[in-house]
Amino acid sequence: MWTIRASIDYFFNVLTYLIVARAISTWIFTNPYNNISRILYQLTEPIIAPFRSLLSRIGLGGSHIDFSPLAALWGLMFIKSILLSLI
């Protein structure tokens, strides 16, 4: 049981670090074709895209600041806490 709990915790921590790295990389690497930027984009876009869509539907999207990584982090923390409480 401990192994499953630790694996879930590790998985969500890695996702969190990848999303934070992507947000920071948008400030550092202005070239979207940079290898690091492309890898981070490919790994995190399936997680961030639904939150970007949701934010644009409720009127918080489309501005100069993209809040979807922050919403994705909040959503991941919520899902992680639910999964860990079920185990």
53-67 pLDDT, tens digit per residue, is 888 888 766 667 788
Weakest-pLDDT range from 7-11, 36-40, 71-75? 36-40
Quote the percentage of the chain above a pLDDT of 70. 95
- How much is the pLDDT for 61? 64
Supply the mean pLDDT for the chain.
88
Taking a C-beta distance cutoff of 8 angstroms, is the pair 10, 17 a contact?
no
**Sequence-distant contacts of 47-50: CB under 8 A, at least 24 apart:** 47/15, 47/19, 47/72, 47/76, 48/19, 48/22, 48/72
Model pLDDT for residues 3-24, shown as the tens digit of each residue: 999 999 999 999 999 999 998 9
